Structure 1
Amino acid sequence: MTEYGRGQGSEPWHPDDPLYGDGGWGGQQTQQGHHAHPGQQSPYGGRPQHHPQEPQQHYDTGGWDTTGQNGYTQPQQYPQYDQQYAPQQQYDTGGWPAGSHSPDPYAAGPADPYGQQNGAYGGEQADHYRTPDAYPPPEPPGRRRAEPEPRTDGGPGPDEGEHAFFAGDTGEDEDDRDDEGGRDDEGDRDDEPGDRRGRGERRGRGGNRGGKEKKRRNGVACLVVVLVLGGGTIGISYFGYQFYKDRFGSAPDFAGDGNGEQVTVTIPKGAGGYVIGQELKKMGVVKSVDAFVAAQADNPQGNTIQDGVYTLQKEMSAESAVALMLSPKSRSNLIIAEGWRNAYIYELIDQRLEVEEGTTAKVAKEDWEKLGLPDWAQGHENVKDPLEGFLFPSSYGVSKGQKPEDVLKRMVAQAAESYEKLEVEKKAESLGLENPWQLVTVASMVQAEGTSHSDFRKMAEVIYNRLEPGNTETNGMLEFDSTYNYIKNQSKLDLSLKELRNYDNPYNTYYYKGLTPGPIGNPGEDAIKGALNPTDEGWYYFISLDGKTSEFTKTNAEHQKLVDKWNASRKN
């Protein structure tokens, strides 16, 4: 066993042994709670209780007479320990001459009742710390670090949670810190065994010199910590409040129907609620995007807001902005209806841009090649207007300050995109046409003559059947009133055959066989689909008795009966 107070002896220790539990200092065994009396015999018969193989070694005698003059001879023990530690252990001599040992408070003296222990027990006692497996001997009380004194100021002690940062003391002053070599002013390393002075002892030197400066630094550090923690708390509170407002609070909003200042807002095509809200907020109409999106969701027709130009007021509530955008009063878009001709559209653009009449038509005539027409729409002869059929019916945001060429470019781009989506170029030849240009021309005639999708498909079949080479019903003549009206820039229903058959113009289908040189208007998507998917029922003729619905026949005799009926209705 190697516990404190025990060693590996030749015989086991017994709890009844008066020497059990305390080995003493310097190899002495002290009875706990009993005094040694002269004449008392050792329970081990005076036999030394050290390890049999342990050589006799010398340790610090602590005042013992090693010459034997006093009758007490101590063997030389632990020479290795003396060589390794003795030169380095420098104790506080307390005024003793340098090089001499300071008096050991535990050495045997005349007044020490335990000083005669060896003699009393008739011989030396075994030092059980000298076995090979034993721990190094504990330091004597004189060499132990003093226990910290309890604080009297009410603050926590060194073991009661006080951190060095807030305590304002790192254990040593600036003057006591080691130099770069790791030694103090006296040339000794602090971690050497000879320097047994506690930090409390060294702390006393020069403490007044750096105390104020340290307190000042520590105070500033504490202030910085407080500011950082306080700033973090304020930041967390602010962002937490913003998060709460964004998630649970109502969005910022104006009140009322506006401040009376009008503003024009352009909503791009395909814009959703958030994009519309961003445009309105940018122009000062609404206060927040979220408020507009919420108001749009609350309105049953809110999702029907279309692209285009709107005339609104600044500082409107989101609810009133949504309501006004759903009203025709706010619409500033230029609406191009199906079948409208380019000549009429040019006039509307001039009015919307507030430019001189004829400005847009001049740009279309002079710069048509720069406006984005597809390749298959260029290079055709006898065309009245190369842009006809490419100002696609839709809603466009057109307002003062824009240029005519920019407006025309948007319309042409919309037409080209729609035709590509409907595969006009791909399907033209399958319908017996030479190119997609002719398909757009057919669609423009279908749009001009028909009134419904059902009409469009039958009207397309009439055109394809009449264009069929060798047909005996019309012999290749289309004879559409709409073509004559186009060249005359009119929309008359009461036209005489004499007038129709005697007007020489490439666009007059009463005078020339086949299709016109180009489209006669701007067909919508429904008319284009009708031209792409005609019926196959043998229709060659059609007529509208009321101007709204069309009736179709397969023979000229059937068709003539309907013409007579219509003439009779006009007389009445």
Structure 2
Amino acid sequence: MTDYGRGPGGEPWHPDDPLPGDGERHWPGGYDGADGTAGSWDPYGAPTPRPWPPQEPYPGQPYPPQAPLSPEQWPPHSAGPAAHAPYPQQGGWDSGAAYPQAPYDPQAPGAGAHPAPAPYDTGGYPDPYGAQAYPPQNAPHPPHGYPGPGEVYPGDAYPDPGAHHPDAAAAPHAAPAADPAPGPDPETGWDPGPDRGESDFFSRRDEDEEPEEHPRSGETSRRSRRGDRPKKRRAGCGCLVAAALVAGGVGGVAWYGYQFYQDRFGPAPDWAGEGSGEVQVEIPEGASLSDMGNLLRELGVVRSHDAFVEAAQSGGGEAIQPGVYTLRSQMSAESALTLLLDPSAANVLIIPEGRRATEIYALVDQALGEPEGTTEEVAANADLGLPDWAGGDVEGFLFPSRYSVGEDTTPEALLTEMVDRAEATFTDLDLAGRAGTIDRSPREVLVIASLIEAEAQQDEEFGRVSRVIHNRLAQDMRLEFDSTINYAMGRSTLETSIEDTQYASPYNTYVEFGLPPGPIDNPGEQAIEAALNPTDGDWLYFVTVREGDTRFTADYDEHLRNVEAFNEAQEAGE
């Protein structure tokens, strides 16, 4: 039987039942084949014994031919011969022309009356088994040749319950008919038996396929009953997508691993070669190597910050001076470092210590490409931010240092930066505070520093020259410095004649007592520090006989001998 209902044939299969041909069958609530007797299956009661023994099929056919019954022989509930037309083909054997039927003969050997089960009341509910009425007991065998209730033919599992009794169609609330069984193979005669869901299991496909015709009944498959859906790519496309995802993931992991290795252990990214074009780079005052690396990377000079820092740390990058440098784009870190250490590559203006203002004006004009005298005119008219104690005199406030010079640099901007640098240095040295401790004003200290800057040559001479100045001022002696006459006369020479010492000028210390009215140059930090802190000594005189040979003394006669040695050196051209 099928999975969809129970027909008028034998009772349903039980898991404990043996297969056909396995010997005795023990049916729950049915017959026991131990004694050869059989009974019809009663769903609500005990089995009804049948008096006749099991019939043996004739060779070559299920049962012997049977003669048609007369109308008087039909059970009372039948509607006549027309109501008992042969059932459709079931169970793998043909009840039609291939096997002619003969009327049932109750007197035939092995024949017996069919005991009819007592009618039962369904209580108003539909008959669960098709509401079919069984023939009365002792009724002749039905003419269609099918087994009676409870009978099973050898070699056949169960009759198809889809073929109901003819009266079942007229019964109220009848169960719907199931799909007909496929039947035996027309060539081999092999019957697979009733379908218990195997065909549905093996014919089941992806739910996303297009609806198709059911192979047996012409119905659309169950996926078509869910509604038409757009056809999707099958497993091949899914495999490609999965492979692409896996490849992408592997590639991402590899890339991340490479980047991690490069960041932790690999060399810093760097360009090769000398680069091309021109890029102006201004290295600010106090910039560290890391600051320089970031600046060069942002301007496209070097490829990475780390490459430049590594090259600078191993190549003396600490010597890089602030200023404007002309570099090139996409240079190697080593090439960039080489140019930054080369003074000729720096677009800077270097103001040496001890230069006069007039000399600085000429340097600025040259650096900015301005006509001669442009910067001097600006200094005379522009507000450069001088302090009040400067008295409007820019001399001494153009602090010696390195200054960046770019395409947009102007003389006024450059002079203002020099004054700002000088004031910052004075503040750092506490010029105003320390000047009071030696009973001098800040301007007087600045003047003394300018004299030291002009006279001293070696580092150890700065403190000694400062001591000579302080000792002479303390004893109200003229300073008698040749540097003051040269400043007054606007020249630079070591030769001072007797006539030069009579030059009329407040800056002529051979004539005037005390300090000159203002600085005679722009001193650096070392000279200012020496003016505030002179070396201890009693020296009143000094003379530089030759370069690197400056002689100090407190004895005037010794001083005259030192002067004679100087004159001899000058005559010898030393």
Q: TM-score range by the shorter chain?
A: 0.5 to 0.7
C-alpha distance in structure 1 between counterparts of 2:561 and 2:286, whole Å:
50
- CA deviation string 1:273-299 (max 9, x = no partner): 333234334444333333322322342
Unaligned runs of 5+ in 1: 1-34, 36-62, 64-95, 104-149, 156-166, 170-203
8 A contact 1:453–1:530 mirrored in 2: no
Structure 2 CA distance for aligned equivalents of residues 549 and 99 of structure 1: 143
Aligned partner of 1:444 in structure 2 is 450
SS in 1 for 2:549: coil
Partner of 1:463: 469
Higher mean C-alpha displacement, 288-297 vs 424-433:
288-297
What does residue range 59-98 of structure 1 map to in structure 2 within 5 Å?
A: none
What is the aligned counterpart of 1:277 among 281, 284, 293? 293
* Residues 1:255 and 2:272 aligned together: yes
CA deviation map 1:384-440 (0-9, x unaligned) = xx2212222222221343111221222222222222111111100111203x12211
Matches within 5 A, 1:265-344: 265-299=281-315, 301-344=316-359
Give secondary structure in 1 for the equivalent of 2:483: helix
| Contact map agreement 1:353 1:401 (CA 8 A) in 2 | no
Residue 403 (structure 1) aligns with: 410
Determine if contact 1:441/1:520 at 8 Å carries over to the other structure: yes
Of 183, 186, 208, the match for 2:225: 208
Distance 1:206 1:568, change over 3 A: closer
| Distance change >3 Å, CA 424–CA 205, structure 1 → 2 | same
Alpha carbons of structure 1 residues 212 and 359: separation in structure 2 relative to 1, 3 Å = same
* Conserved 8 A contact 1:257-1:316: yes
Return 5+ residue gaps in structure 2 as ranges.
Answer: 1-27, 29-43, 45-120, 129-199, 209-220
Measured after TM superposition, the shift of residue 152 of structure 1 is 6.1
Name the CA shift for 1:296/1:566 in 2 (closer, same or farther; >3 Å): closer
- Output aligned runs, 1:324-473, within 5 Å: 324-367=339-382, 369=383, 371-373=384-386, 375-378=387-390, 380=391, 386-434=393-441, 436-468=442-474, 471=475
Of 245, 249, 256, which residue of structure 1 is paired with 2:262? 245
> C-alpha deviations, 1:106-161, integer Å up to 9, x for none?
xxxxxxxxxxxxxxxxxxxxxxxxxxxxxxxxxxxxxxxxxxxx976999xxxxxx
- CA distance, structure 1, for counterparts of residue 467 and residue 124 of structure 2: 131
Q: 1:188-207 counterparts in 2 under 5 A?
A: none
CA contact (8 A) 1:168 1:215 kept: no
Q: Write the distance in 2 (CA, Å) between the matches of 1:97 and 1:552.
A: 146
Residues 322-377 of structure 1: CA distance to partner in whole angstroms, max 9, x if unpaired? Answer: 2233234423322111111121111111111111111111111111x3x233x354
Question: Quick check: 1:376–1:437 contact (8 Å CA) kept in 2?
Answer: no
SS at match of 1:332: strand
One-letter amino acid matched to 1:447: E
Q: How does 1:156-171 map to 2 (within 5 A)?
A: none
CA contact (8 A) 1:352 1:400 kept: no
| Residue 496 of structure 1, CA deviation | 1.9
The CA distance in 2 between the partners of 1:549 and 1:325, in whole Å, is 36
Q: Does the aligned pair in 2 maintain the 1:336–1:345 contact within 8 Å?
A: yes
CA contact (8 A) 2:207 2:223 kept: no
More moved, 205-214 vs 350-359 = 205-214
Are the equivalent residues in 1 in contact too, given 2:270–2:332 (CA < 8 A)? yes
Cα distance, 1:569 vs structure 2:
4.0
Distance 1:332 1:224 in 2: 60
Contact 2:453 2:527 in 1 (8 A): yes
Answer whether contact 2:485 2:500 (CA < 8 A) is retained: no
3-state SS of 1:544 partner? strand
**Residues 541 and 553 of structure 2 are in contact (CA less than 8 Å); yes or no, is this contact kept in structure 1?**
yes
Q: Distance in 2 between matches of 1:322 and 1:550?
A: 40
Say whether the 8 Å CA contact 2:506–2:517 is kept in structure 1: yes
What do residues 443-502 of structure 1 show as CA deviations (whole Å, max 9, x unaligned)?
11111101123211111111112222xx2xxx34222111111122211111123322x3
Deviation at 1:543?
Answer: 0.9
Matched residue type, 2:460: S
Partner deviation per Cα, 1:145-204 (whole Å, 9 max, x = no partner): xxxxx976999xxxxxxxxxxx999xxxxxxxxxxxxxxxxxxxxxxxxxxxxxxxxxx9
Larger mean Cα displacement after TM superposition, 235-244 or 417-426? 235-244
SS in 1 for 2:565: helix
Distance in structure 2 (CA, Å) of the matches to 1:422 and 1:458: 20
Identity score, percent:
43
Q: Which residue of 1 aligns with 2:484?
A: 483
**What's the CA shift for 1:311?**
3.0
Secondary structure of 1:456's aligned partner: helix
Deviations 1:291-329 (A, max 9, x none): 322322342x23322222323333332222222332344
On the 8 A contact 1:349/1:398 being kept in 2, the answer is no
Distance 1:408 1:349 in 2: 9
Q: What is the rounded CA distance, in whole Å, between the counterparts of 1:443 and 1:561 in structure 2?
A: 28
Could you tell me how far apart the structure 2 residues matched to 1:526 and 1:510 are? 26
With over 3 angstroms needed to count, the CA separation of the structure-2 counterparts of 1:248 and 1:97, relative to structure 1, is: farther
Say if 1:212 and 1:257 are closer, same or farther in 2 by CA, change over 3 A: same
Larger radius of gyration: 2
Counterpart of 2:425 in structure 1: which amino acid? Answer: S
In 1, the alpha carbon distance for the partners of 2:309 and 2:535 equals: 46
Alpha-carbon separation, structure 1, partners of 2:513 and 2:202: 122
What is the one-letter code of the residue matched to 1:366?
A: N
Instruction: Report deviation, 1:237.
Output: 5.5
Report the Cα distance in structure 2 between the residues aligned to 1:98 and 1:450, rounded to whole angstroms: 137
Given residue 518 of structure 1, which amino acid in structure 2 is its aligned partner? G
The answer on whether the counterparts of 2:479 and 2:510 sit within 8 Å (CA) in structure 1 is yes
Hey, what's the Cα distance between the residues in 1 that align with 2:126 and 2:491?
134
Structure 2 CA distance for aligned equivalents of residues 497 and 293 of structure 1: 60
From the superposition, tell whether residues 526 and 206 of structure 1 become closer, same or farther in structure 2 (CA, over 3 Å).
Answer: same
Residue 541 of structure 1 and its aligned partner are, at CA, apart by 1.3
Alignment-derived partner of residue 192 in structure 1: none
Q: Is the 8 A contact 1:388 1:522 kept in 2?
A: yes
**2: CA distance, partners of 1:239 / 1:349:** 54
Q: Which residue in the other structure is 1:92 paired with?
A: none
Residue-by-residue CA offset, 1:516-541 (whole Å, 9 max, x unaligned):
22211121222122112112322211
Aligned mates of 2:513, 2:519 — CA distance in 1? 15
Q: How many angstroms apart in 1 are the aligned matches of 2:566 and 2:438?
A: 33
1:205 shift after superposition? 9.9
Give the superposition deviation at 1:264. 3.4
Structure 1 residues 212 and 334, CA, compared in 2 at 3 Å: closer, same or farther? same
**SS, match of residue 397 in structure 2:** coil
The aligned residue for residue 494 of structure 2 is 493
Shift of 1:221: 13
Measured on the aligned residues, the alpha-carbon RMSD in Å equals: 4.5
- Aligned residue pairs total 386
Deviates more, 1:358-367 or 1:207-216: 207-216
Instruction: Give yes or no for contact 1:339–1:524 (8 Å, CA) kept in 2.
Output: yes
In 1, the alpha carbon distance for the partners of 2:240 and 2:551 equals 95
Normalising by structure 1, report the TM-score.
Answer: 0.57
Q: What secondary structure, in the 3-state scheme, does the structure 2 residue paired with 1:275 have? A: helix
